[in-house]
Amino acid sequence: MSQKTHCLIIGSGPAGYTAAIYASRAGLKPMMVAGLQPGGQLTITTEVENYPGYPNGIQGPEMMEHFRKQAERFGTEIKWSYVSSVDFSKAPFKVTVEEKETILADTVIIATGASAKWLGLPSEQRLNGFGVSACAVCDGYFFKGQDVAIVGGGDTAAEESTYLAKLCRKVYLLVRKDALRASKAMQNRVMNTPNIEVLFNSETLEITGEKAVEGARILNNKTKEEKNLKITGFFVAIGHKPNTDIFKNWLDMDELGYLKTIPGSTRTKIPGVFACGDSQDRIYRQAVTAAGSGCMAALDAERYLASIEA
């Protein structure tokens, strides 16, 4: 038997929960499918200090608990499950949960987020949250005055290395090839920052440290020389992957998989289907911008429902 809802929200990060708060307060009685990582990327960070309204900062998981409680307070029904496929061929849209249960939805708000890519080293996993991070803007502050390394050669790594350079004593930028992929302007900024040292042809073999990061073993893939960097922070900036695979046959996306929305809105090319948060944002990717676009999606859904009922 299938369930029916006016508004189905897929994903439970800041975008999904904000959409849920707005949609439930608007009387849409939304249903949310929380996904495989309830709470999203913030549940794997520690302290969040840049979300407005928390003057003393807050732990990421605790903040997401607040989001959840606020969404539930207004009547959002949350399913602790994941969406396995969608059928957007006609409204009501058919959304399949865990390959068995079907939900029919008049509107769908996609808030599935993105996942940071990782190098795949066991030491990176072990020290994640203990000096290893995939977000310099979130965690850079904790390494004030210290020496850190950041991996990557694209715009994100270039931008984040200059961000870190303002806070840290020294920043090693570890680039696997002999050139940066980042735009020329960003490359110039990196090269003109005195406390950034770019190490080309550099691969990370291991991040060292028992309970927290103490260093990294780096291999020069040209000379085959190995060296140990003494660092307390290790940042990974090798790209993100939006969690949009299940929408491939239905919605337009860019070459990286980010969903395309009509500028100035969260509308996709299918009326009644909206996208918000990191699933459609390759540039800003902040909790607060995700929350803002979640609000937009709920308002867009509400207006769409009003227009088809009129």
Reduced to 3 states, what is the DSSP secondary structure of residue 226? strand
> Taking the complex as a whole, how short is the minimal distance between the CB of residue 130 and ligand NDP, in angstroms?
21
Residue whose beta carbon is closest to ligand NDP: 154
Q: What is the dihedral of CA 126, 130, 136, 137, to 10 degrees?
A: 130
Q: How far is the CB of 183 from ligand NDP (least distance, A)?
A: 7
CA distance 253 to 247: 9
CA atoms within 13 A of residue 35's CA, in its CB half-sphere: 23
Residue 168 is a catalytic residue: no
Q: Please list, residue by residue across 55-72, b when 16 or more beta carbons sit within 10 angstroms of its beta carbon and e when fewer do.
A: eeebebeebbeebbebbb
Q: Is the peptide bond before 92 cis (omega within 30 degrees of 0)?
A: yes
* Identified catalytic residue from 139, 278, 281, 300: 139
Q: Taking the complex as a whole, how short is the minimal distance between the CB of residue 235 and ligand NDP, in angstroms?
A: 12
Q: Spot the catalytic one: 135, 276, 278, 300.
A: 135
Neighbours of 180 (CB within 10 A): 21
Q: Which neighbouring-strand residues pair with 105?
A: 5, 93
CA–CA dist 173, 92 (Å, integer) = 49
Output 12 or 193, the one with its CB closest to ligand NDP: 193
Kindly report the CA angle at 189 between 186 and 192, in degrees rounded to 5?
150
**Nearest CB to ligand NDP, comparing residues 100 and 224:** 224
Which residue out of 138, 155, 278, 281 is catalytically annotated?
138
Is 135 a known active-site residue? yes
Q: Which is nearer to ligand NDP, 38 or 153 (CB)?
A: 153
Helix-then-strand count for the chain, H and E: 7, 19
Distance of CA 289 to the CA centre of its chain: 11
Question: Rounded to the nearest 10 degrees, what angle do helices 287-309 and 14-25 cross at?
Answer: 40
The residues that touch ligand NDP, with contacts defined as CB under 6 A, are 119, 151-157, 159, 176-177, 181, 238-239, 282-283
The minimum distance between CB 248 and ligand NDP, in angstroms, equals 19
Q: At closest approach, how far in Å is the CB of 198 from ligand NDP?
A: 12
Q: Which one, 104 or 121, has the nearer CB to ligand NDP?
A: 121
Question: Minimum Å distance from CB 127 to ligand NDP?
Answer: 17
The residue among 162 and 268 lying less far from ligand NDP, judged by its C-beta, is 162
Q: Which is nearer to ligand NDP, 80 or 284 (CB)?
A: 284
- Listed in sequence order, the residues at least 6 apart from 37 whose beta carbon sits closer than 8 Å to its beta carbon are 43, 44
Residue 295 annotated in active site: no
Active site residues: 135, 138-139
